[in-house]
């Protein structure tokens, strides 16, 4: 990939150009050398009416890699826009790994069509990968690794590598005749070893190995802390299944980050930047509807104290402060929890400690901001009682937000729900209802 191309500037150039100039820019040598991920980012940044014109300028050999690098929505749109002949040309170049990536987001008829075009070897690998769930690393293992028998010599290993055209592989995996994993050899280590030595004698038998049913988060964490750029994956019988490399780990980390980021707004990391208006509107409408229901619940809580608000207008002015402080405090704890759960740092053994820790933080921050905001409100409205009322609302809401910021993601995980997706809307509802109830309930006690 060219290191001199700024994608943002390239996107700006293409977006501002007419069709003929776009083709000229796209066919510039340094742009044609971009890697698949950069091409995917470029296509995703273009409006729908510009994509296919440039897509057809892309070399056919790059189509599968670029489509695989795209978000699911963009990939589906491109594939649906292809002619029958173009689609067959693309599907004919699919391998099992790309098909696994596509299988969860494309219509069943296209997947079946792709399966019919797979080679026998890739079809077997695809069927094997489908035995795993979406969260197990075995599903994404690259099975096309270099494995050599443990009993052959270094000299023989070099001959085999040269015969089959393998040049500078990252890792060579040593196995028994039954494909049971023995160890790993760095290519440089193989080059420097004595020709007569057997592979079993120079293999790193202490190499970190991942089990095929390990979660994606566990696999990413393992390779992140490993000295290697790839780790072997084995099944329950210790037979070599494949490997996860650093590139795949980085992709999984990025997807996890984007998933959390988008889920906070009720969206998917696969959503297209220029998705059709009606399609995007339908998706977002669901989340807006959910938020409407939570807002109605908060409004119903406020309506219980309508008589108090009618008599003291200052309460209506101060209510947004109570809701905002609780919402921010809760989102801080929730974000910390979701990150910890993604990294497998939150367990049954430390949840009580986390709860106590967040309670302490919530208590200190609650008291601090309750005093400051209470003083400000008391001076503003020339009423110490108003200051006390909002101080009580603030301290109760911040402590509540801290506690439920821990409890909600734990509860959602037990219910097999994604804390990143549902956590924020539930937490917002809790902090709004509790905050308004504490604030307006205190006002009713002290003012009426």
Residue 395's pLDDT is: 94
pTM for the structure as a whole: 0.61
At 401 the pLDDT is 92
- Mean pLDDT across the stretch 388-392? 93
Query: What's the pLDDT at 264?
Result: 59
Closest alpha carbon to 128 in 270, 240, 218, 256: 240
Q: Which residue has the higher pLDDT, 81 or 265?
A: 81
How, if at all, do strands 147-149 and 171-175 pair?
A: parallel
Its sign, for the CA torsion 50, 53, 55, 57, is negative
CA atoms within 13 A on the CB side of 231: 26
Phi-psi region of 7 (alpha: psi -120 to 50; beta: other; left: phi over 0): alpha
Q: Per-residue b/e over 17-50, b at no fewer than 16 CB within 10 Å?
A: eeeeebeeebeeeebeebebbbbbbbbbbbeeeb
Q: Which residue has the higher pLDDT, 359 or 188?
A: 359
pLDDT at 273: 63
Max mean pLDDT among 86-100, 123-137, 291-305, 354-368 falls in 354-368
Query: What pLDDT does 418 receive?
Result: 74
Mean pLDDT of the chain: 83
What confidence score (pLDDT) does residue 267 get?
A: 59
Strands (E) located in 248-325:
none
Contact at 8 Å (CB) between 242 and 163? no
- Give the total residue count for the chain: 448
DSSP string, 86-151: HHHHHHTT--HHHHHHHHTTS-HHHHHHHHHHS-HHHHHHHHHHTTS-TTBGGGT-B----EEETT
Instruction: Give the least confident one: 55-64, 205-214, 217-226.
Output: 217-226
Which pLDDT belongs to residue 397? Answer: 93
Confidence category of residue 265, pLDDT binned at 50, 70, 90? low
pLDDT in tens, 152-174: 898 888 888 877 666 666 788 89
How do residues 18-33 score in pLDDT, each as one tens digit? 888 888 888 888 887 8
Greatest mean pLDDT among 216-220, 374-378, 426-430 lies in 374-378
Distance (Å) of CA 297 to CA 272, 294, 313, 412, 429? 32, 5, 22, 20, 8
For residues 101-113, average pLDDT: 81
Query: Which has the closest alpha carbon to 131: 235, 240, 210?
Result: 235
Task: Name which of 54-68, 72-86, 275-289, 318-332 the model is least confident about.
Answer: 275-289
The CA distance from 46 to 42, in Å, is 7
What percentage of residues in the chain have a pLDDT greater than 70? 89
CB 211 within 8 Å of CB 234: yes
**In this predicted structure, which of 99-103, 156-160, 192-196, 428-432 has the lowest mean pLDDT?**
99-103
Maximum mean pLDDT: which of 83-97, 290-304, 399-413: 399-413
Higher pLDDT, 388 or 6: 388
First to last CA, the chain: 72
Could you identify the residue written with the tokens 């019919």?
116
List, as own/partner pairs, every contact residues 258-266 make where C-beta atoms lie below 8 angstroms and the sequence separation is at least 24, other chains included: 259/420, 260/338, 260/339, 260/342, 260/420, 263/418, 263/420, 263/421, 264/420, 264/424, 266/290, 266/291, 266/421, 266/425
What's residue 22's pLDDT?
A: 83
- Is the pLDDT confidence value at 293 over 60? yes
Per-residue pLDDT averaged across 341-364, rounded?
A: 85
Distance CA 132, CA 96 (A): 14
Q: Coil, helix or strand for 33?
A: coil
| Least confident piece of the model among 209-223, 261-275, 426-440 | 261-275
Give the pLDDT confidence score for residue 2 in this predicted structure: 42
CA nearest neighbour of 392 among 415, 410, 373, 407: 373
Task: Identify the pLDDT of residue 269.
Answer: 57
Percent of the chain with pLDDT over 90: 16
Evaluate the CA torsion angle 355, 357, 360, 365 in order and state its sign: negative
189 φ/ψ angles, rounded to the nearest 5 degrees? -65, -40
């Amino acid at each position: 990939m060219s290191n001199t191309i700024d994608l943002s500037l390239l996107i700006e150039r293409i977006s501002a150009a007419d069709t003929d100039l776009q083709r000229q820019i796209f066919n510039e040598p340094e742009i044609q050398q971009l890697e698949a991920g950069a091409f995917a980012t470029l296509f995703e940044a273009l409006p729908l009416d510009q994509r296919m014109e440039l897509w057809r300028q892309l070399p056919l050999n790059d189509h599968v890699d670029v489509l695989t690098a795209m978000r699911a929505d963009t990939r589906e749109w491109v594939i649906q826009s292809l002619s029958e002949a173009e689609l067959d040309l693309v599907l004919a170049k699919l391998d099992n790994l790309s098909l696994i990536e596509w299988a969860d987001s494309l219509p069943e008829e296209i997947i079946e069509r792709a399966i019919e075009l797979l080679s026998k070897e890739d079809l077997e690998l695809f069927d094997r990968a489908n035995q795993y769930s979406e969260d197990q690393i075995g599903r994404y293992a690259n099975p096309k690794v270099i494995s050599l028998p443990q009993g052959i010599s270094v000299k023989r290993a070099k001959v085999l590598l040269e015969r089959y055209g393998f040049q500078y592989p990252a890792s060579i995996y040593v196995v028994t005749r039954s494909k049971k994993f023995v160890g790993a050899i760095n290519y440089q280590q193989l080059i420097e070893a004595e020709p007569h030595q057997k592979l079993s004698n120079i293999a790193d038998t202490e190499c970190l190995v991942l089990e095929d049913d390990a979660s994606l988060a566990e696999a990413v964490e393992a390779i992140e802390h490993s000295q290697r750029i790839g780790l072997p994956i084995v099944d329950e019988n210790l037979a070599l299944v494949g490997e996860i490399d650093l590139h795949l780990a980085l992709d999984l980390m990025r997807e996890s980050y984007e998933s959390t980021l988008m889920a906070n707004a009720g969206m998917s990391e696969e959503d297209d930047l220029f998705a059709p208006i009606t399609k995007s509107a339908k998706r977002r409408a669901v989340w807006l509807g959910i938020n409407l229901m939570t807002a109605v619940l908060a409004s119903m809580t406020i309506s219980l104290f309508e008589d108090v608000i009618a008599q003291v207008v200052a309460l209506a002015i101060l209510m947004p402060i109570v809701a905002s402080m609780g919402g921010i405090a809760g989102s801080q704890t929730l974000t910390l929890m979701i990150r910890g759960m993604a990294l497998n740092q939150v367990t049954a053994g430390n949840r009580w400690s986390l709860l106590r820790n967040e309670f302490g933080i919530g208590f200190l921050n609650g008291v601090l901001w309750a005093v400051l905001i209470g003083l400000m409100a008391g001076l503003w409205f020339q009423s110490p009682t108003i200051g006390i009322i909002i101080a009580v609302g603030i301290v109760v809401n911040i402590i509540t937000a801290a506690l439920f910021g821990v409890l909600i993601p734990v509860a959602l995980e037990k219910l097999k729900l994604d804390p990143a997706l549902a956590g924020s809307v539930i937490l917002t509802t809790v902090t709004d209802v509790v905050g308004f109830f504490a604030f307006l309930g205190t006002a009713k006690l002290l003012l009426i």
